[in-house]
Amino acid sequence: MINKNSTEKKRINLSMSWDTLDNSTKDYFREEIRKLIEKYEKVVKDNRKGEFMEEDVKVKFLNPLLEAMGWNVRGLDEVKFEQRTLTGRTDFGLRISKYAKPVIFYEAKSFIEHLDNKRKRRGKDMTYAEIAIEDAWQMKVGWCILTNFEKFRLYFTHVRTAKEGLVYEIKYQDYLKEVNLERLWDLSKHRIENKSLYSYELKRTREDINTEVVNDLLIIREKLLKEIRSKNKLSNEELKVSIQRILDRLVIIRTAEDRGVIKFDSLNNTLSHWKDYVINQERKPFTSSLKELYRDFESVYNSKLFKKHSCEDLIIGNNILKSIILILYKYNFDLIDADILGAIYEDYLGHILEVDKNDEIGIVESRAKRKKRGIYYTPSHIVDYIVRKLFTLFFVKEPVEKVTKIRILDSACGSGSFLIKAYDILKEYYELFNKQIKRGTEKGKGIVGFSKIIPNIEKRILIDNLYGVDLDSQAVEIAVMNLILKALKKGEQLPPLLGNNIKWGNSLIKEDREELIRFYGENYSYVNAFDWDEKFPKIVRENKGFDIIIGNPPHGAKLSKEDRKFFKKNYHLTKGMINSAILFIEKSYNLLKDDGLLGLVIPKSLTFSQKWNPTRIFILKNFRILEIVDISEAFKGVLLEQILLICKKEKSSNNDYIGKSIEVFDKSKEFLIPLYLTKELDIFPVHIDNMSLNIYEKMLNCSLKLKEISQTFRGLPLQSKAVRVRTDSHIPLLKGADIRPFFNREASIFVDKKFLSKYKNKTEKMESSKIISQRIVAHVLKPKDHIIIMSNYDDEGLLSVDTVENTILTSSEYSLFYLLAFLNSKLISWYVYYFIFNRAVRTMDFDDYYIGKIPLFKASKIDQEPIIKLVQDLSKETKLLKENRVKFIEEVNKIPRLDDRSLNYYYTKLNSKDKKVIIKSNLQGNIKNLTMLEDGTWLKLKIDYEIRTDK
């Protein structure tokens, strides 16, 4: 690869663009390409092109090219040879890191193959380029390379045609041209890691596969809905169940075809046979032929999804079914990854069948409904991390005979993404074990301790290892379908999952008739209560619980009054805040066996929020924390931070756990967190390295906490009563946005005095000298991730709304100016960010609980004096700045406004009389930003301002 004598230098330079590379790196890259060209030209000269098959081209030409680009061809993680795709195999899958998905598919051809040649694919003639693009697109990979070395093409895959997707083609004779060297360099690993491909992205003419499949599934559902409703008399619930059952069956059959489990085109052939041989198609509709196919599938595969069901006898038009089948043949369902399928069905479930006022049922996009229930689809890399971590912990300590009896639960399984990943990893483990037994290696014997091959792996996993429950009946059926698709094998019966291992019900509400009547009334059936002892008796009673519980339980779900009363009575952790995630933590504890492992996605607030304090205490008391992983805002479209909580059900005096910060899993930062910090800080720290810990210890030894000498409270909850125009009966109110370090703007909102009587005690406190602070802590990303606490001294008795925190002293030993110096310091902002808010991005309210944790350097009154004087001087200067700023604003308001785009819209709406009044008026408002430019004799000001108007 790189010159061994300058390896470190090259590693640094690899991420640079071609223009900024040093000459030695350019020369190295150019020389490697030149060698390959010479080698190829010799093959051509010797008339040996026909001797080089695809594998020879890969090994002797493309591997060296990839190595020159910085890809680790010999490793196991970056370059995956013969990467499987949905519709076949591609030669390379290039990925940035071990757990990442491929960023480029790399399709190689032999020297004698023309890149525009065609091949039969699913009965259709397709060019190599079309095949490569389709494969990459269906696997959610945005780029593909097609090359026989003589020509090198880069394609963008979010397109309808190969012509639309071609970014460039390079002939081998032109590889050494500067423009082409730059293009090739941009495909190096480190350049791709630095987003080099963004500059090549073309206009998208095709959506992601997720979007297209979801849209087609929704089209199918819409077709079935209209057809069945118009020709059959069904209740709305029967209608929903029938539509889902028909769709699930057709998807399973199509997947079975694409995997070769049943004959390809079985569904299509059934349709063709019906069209060709049924004489009276009205008397014997296509549904009758489908019913025969269902019975055949049931007799061979024994799936409950194919047992006799009322959906088979519905009147559905032949043309409707034909159009649905044609839609499903657009896709190859062979190897749709769990994350793709999960995302597809998550979006699909976000569109619900809903009844309107006229009792008409239709499909409505309602992600809000799932959000209301606290349901969010989990990204695949997070699922993979949790499941692999827990399985690694379990496999290390247990013999194989115990592993084969492992019981894994997702108590809010949704469409089954965690269970599917668990299936994949268990299958990997069992297959590896069986290979070792077959080889008879010492390593295999050492791992297992016995020599029996594990039979019927797929069935064993589904019957003995995986369990799930969900409140959404549609999600349960989809989870079953997803698992069935994993286990489909030619001619082999499937285990009955629906209703056996994967069940429908409310995981949190026990089926106790008296309790249910007490809280929900006689018609409590809608709650879908779930009795764990009854539904899983062998596991809960005999096995004493599950070995592993995984998942992303609903959090922040909207709970009814009845739910809240029930949970307060039946759960210990509901004495204060009730959050559905808290309930799942307690339920998981009750369902886990001793020494069982827990891996959940939980809101990050668990690690630092005052409201989550009882849950932190519960976890410390009942679990041994193994790892807390900060994944921040990993959930697309979810304005909430998350962590991964990984722990073991055991009471332990273990002194530490792993804290991890993850954006890309292979680039994680890992810290060893002493357990004593959880009690000292009342948080679950994640980001504390040794240097930070040393600083913390030093600060702790010479400080006291602010809660010992002060009290903090929010301003008045009167923002909804505030107006922007002041009268004699109004008083000013500060907002959080008015406060800056050592400075505050004049109030821009006002409230009528009559609203203050209700808050007499609070206003009396606020009229004394105090420190005022922004309640919502400012989070800043550049130049590095940090927060800024913004506080100022107030001796004017200013009142404020509840976006302002007010801190008063409860001790005469310290000065407010002394406190203010610390609050506005970078040191305290750093401390608060890491040791109080645990590097949160959201939900940082600077309330008394959090301010009270801030350390203040112990000092006598005499020792405080130099700092007090500095703060007082600074306050005077900022006050002067404020006064000058007001004068400046007044002067600016007198300047003619040549181009006022903000007001122009409103100005054009006025009548001519009002326009004359406006022209003569001065603008009243606060300046937010100002840009000044010289233009000849003119000084142009561009001003962004906040306009003062009536409420």
Q: Are residues 901 and 863 in the same domain?
A: no
Please indicate, yes or no, if residue 634 is contained in any of the structural domains. no
Q: Are residues 67 and 178 in the same domain?
A: yes
Q: What is the mean pLDDT of the chain?
A: 84
Q: Specify whether the CB–CB gap between 833 and 786 falls below 8 A.
A: yes
Amino acid 85: pLDDT: 45
pLDDT category of residue 685 using cuts at 50, 70 and 90: very high
Q: Give the lowest-confidence range in 12-16, 481-485, 780-784.
A: 12-16
Q: Specify whether the CB–CB gap between 105 and 144 falls below 8 A.
A: yes
Q: Specify whether the CB–CB gap between 764 and 783 falls below 8 A.
A: no
Helix count and strand count (H, E) for the chain? 36, 33
- 332 is written with which tokens? 């190859």
Q: Are residues 876 and 910 in the same domain?
A: no
Higher pLDDT pick, 297 / 890? 297
Amino acid 822: pLDDT: 97
Specify the CATH number for the domain of residue 160: 3.90.1570
Angle at which helices 266-277 and 286-301 cross, to 10°: 140
Amino acid 75: pLDDT: 63
- 211 is written with which tokens? 């979007």
Please indicate, yes or no, if residue 678 is contained in any of the structural domains. no
Please indicate, yes or no, if residue 342 is contained in any of the structural domains. yes
Please indicate, yes or no, if residue 671 is contained in any of the structural domains. no
Compute the average pLDDT of residues 846-875: 96
Amino acid 899: pLDDT: 55
Q: Which of 588, 623, 658 is the last residue of a domain?
A: 623
Question: In the chain, how many domains are there?
Answer: 5
Q: To which residue do tokens 């399985």 refer?
A: 391
- 913 class by beta-carbon count within 10 Å (0-12 exposed, 13-18 middle, 19+ buried): exposed
Q: Are residues 404 and 499 in the same domain?
A: yes
Q: Which of 331, 351, 372 is the last residue of a domain?
A: 372
CA distances from 362 to 229, 239, 483, 591 (A): 10, 11, 29, 39
Amino acid 814: pLDDT: 98
- What residues contact residue 721 under an 8 Å CB cut-off, 6+ apart? 751, 752, 755
Max mean pLDDT among 109-118, 637-646, 882-891 falls in 109-118
Please indicate, yes or no, if residue 887 is contained in any of the structural domains. no
Residues in the chain: 951
Please indicate, yes or no, if residue 674 is contained in any of the structural domains. no
Q: What order of strands is seen across the sheet that includes strand 104-108?
A: 79-85, 88-94, 104-108, 143-147, 151-156, 166-171
Specify the CATH number for the domain of residue 726: 3.90.220.10
Specify the CATH number for the domain of residue 500: 3.40.50
Q: Give the lowest-confidence range in 28-32, 258-262, 521-525, 872-876.
A: 258-262
Please indicate, yes or no, if residue 652 is contained in any of the structural domains. no
Strands 770-774 and 804-809: antiparallel
Q: Specify whether the CB–CB gap between 95 and 103 falls below 8 A.
A: yes
Q: Are residues 333 and 467 in the same domain?
A: no
Could you write out the three-class secondary structure of 570-609? HCHHHCCCCCHHHHHHHHHHHHEEEEEEEEEEEEHHHHCC
Compute the average pLDDT of residues 271-290: 89
Q: Which of 881, 911, 927 is the last residue of a domain?
A: 881
Please indicate, yes or no, if residue 353 is contained in any of the structural domains. yes
Q: Are residues 399 and 365 in the same domain?
A: no
Q: Are residues 430 and 556 in the same domain?
A: yes
Q: What span, in angstroms and rounded, lies between the C-alpha atoms of 704 and 822?
A: 13
Q: What span, in angstroms and rounded, lies between the C-alpha atoms of 170 and 179?
A: 10
Compute the average pLDDT of residues 149-169: 92
Q: Are residues 396 and 539 in the same domain?
A: yes
Q: Give the lowest-confidence range in 366-370, 376-380, 772-776.
A: 366-370
Max mean pLDDT among 300-314, 586-600, 871-885 falls in 586-600
Angle at which helices 613-622 and 580-591 cross, to 10°: 10
Q: Is 80 exceeded by the pLDDT of residue 291?
A: yes
Higher pLDDT pick, 860 / 214? 860
Amino acid 139: pLDDT: 80
Q: Are residues 281 and 367 in the same domain?
A: yes
Q: Provide Rg for the chain, Cα atoms.
A: 34
Could you write out the three-class secondary structure of 748-809? CEEEEHHHCHHHHHHHHHHCCCEEEEECECEEECCCCCEEECCEEEECCCCCEECCEEEEEE
Amino acid 376: pLDDT: 59
Q: What span, in angstroms and rounded, lies between the C-alpha atoms of 526 and 337?
A: 34
Q: Are residues 814 and 926 in the same domain?
A: no
Residue 919 domain boundaries: 894-947
What b-and-e string marks burial along 280-299, b requiring 16 or more CB atoms within 10 Å of the CB?
A: eeeeebbbebbbebbeebbe
Higher pLDDT pick, 559 / 445? 559
pLDDT category of residue 5 using cuts at 50, 70 and 90: very low
Amino acid 22: pLDDT: 82
Q: What span, in angstroms and rounded, lies between the C-alpha atoms of 271 and 672?
A: 62
Query: What is the model's pTM?
Result: 0.77
Among 852, 870, 736, smallest CA distance to 815 is for 870
Higher pLDDT pick, 576 / 374? 576
pLDDT category of residue 893 using cuts at 50, 70 and 90: low
Q: Are residues 229 and 96 in the same domain?
A: no
Q: Are residues 117 and 218 in the same domain?
A: no
